[in-house]
Amino acid sequence: MKSNTYVLLLCMLLCLTSYAQEKNTISGTVVNEANNTSLENVHIVNLSKIIGTITDDKGEFNIKANVNDTLYFSYIGYKPLKVRVTNDWIKFGSVKLKLTELGIALEEVVVSKIQLSGYLEIDAKKIPIYNNYRYSISGLNSGYEGGSRQPSAVTKVLQSISNPADFLYNMFGKKGKDLKKLRRMKKDDEIRNLLETKFDRATLMVLLQVDRLDIDEILRNCNYSIDFIKYANDLQILDAISECYEEYKALSR
């Protein structure tokens, strides 16, 4: 009887400990390293839990995290920062984190000459059209790229399964653990809002643990156009990779 009581108490203690760990919320303030001014709208992503948040007008933030979780801070014009959550952070409360401003040399902007006649019907035909858009249909969980397309991504994935040397087969097979995060990334509004405003693939590379060349190669093998690969925002890229990966899993079963 006594042993059963000990077992019950131990189980309750473990449950309470686990519950307490899941409830950890850490806080902090993000500032400019050069002058200590607070930075508003800095994006923070918990890479371990795939959740995100942003700093308020005072540079302050709160996010759920456990010990050893990794937080990724990104802000336009500043060097990204990765920080590991420690016991002291959780125990003693808010910390100050400093981002370093990047020196960005602006490239020369070349404006192409388009001779306009003043007539809408004529001038509309002279404006270049880019096919790097994705559209979605209400009720469907997938999108499609605007413009002319070659054989579908399904065909590409099917070919990859039949050819073990294919890039998609190797990439999706080896990176399966990281790519499983795709669904969780798509569900978090803060992460989606962050990716919608970015075009540098930096956050995607950190989240998926791949480099820029791998992302481009995945999209090429999934039959996305060069325009889409170059000009789509990071959220569109996320959706494209996610769709291709889901097709790969379905066909490989």
Please answer whether residues 244 and 153 qualify as being in contact, where contact means their C-beta atoms are separated by less than 8 angstroms: yes
Please answer whether residues 61 and 49 qualify as being in contact, where contact means their C-beta atoms are separated by less than 8 angstroms: no
Q: What is the pLDDT of residue 18?
A: 46
Side-chain half-sphere exposure of 5, counting CA atoms within 13 A: 2
DSSP notation for 66-98: -TT-EEEEE-TTB--EEEE--HHHHHH--EEEE
Q: What is the pLDDT of residue 41?
A: 95
> Which one, of 94, 93, 96, 69, lies nearest residue 83 by Cα?
69
Q: What is the pLDDT of residue 91?
A: 87
Q: What is the pLDDT of residue 164?
A: 46
pLDDT tens per residue, range 13-26: 555 444 444 558 99
Let me know how long the chain is. Answer: 253
> Which one, of 57, 31, 69, 61, lies nearest residue 44 by Cα?
61
Please answer whether residues 130 and 220 qualify as being in contact, where contact means their C-beta atoms are separated by less than 8 angstroms: no
Taking the domains of the chain in order of start, what are their residue ranges? 24-128, 133-252
| Stretches in the chain below the pLDDT threshold 70 | 1-23, 104-165, 253
Strand pairing class (95-99; 25-32): parallel
Domain at 24-128: CATH code = 2.60.40.1120
State the pTM of this model: 0.70
pLDDT tens per residue, range 40-55: 999 999 999 999 999 9
User: Which sign, positive or negative, has the C-alpha torsion 207, 221, 146, 247?
Assistant: negative
Q: What is the pLDDT of residue 165?
A: 44
Q: What is the pLDDT of residue 246?
A: 86
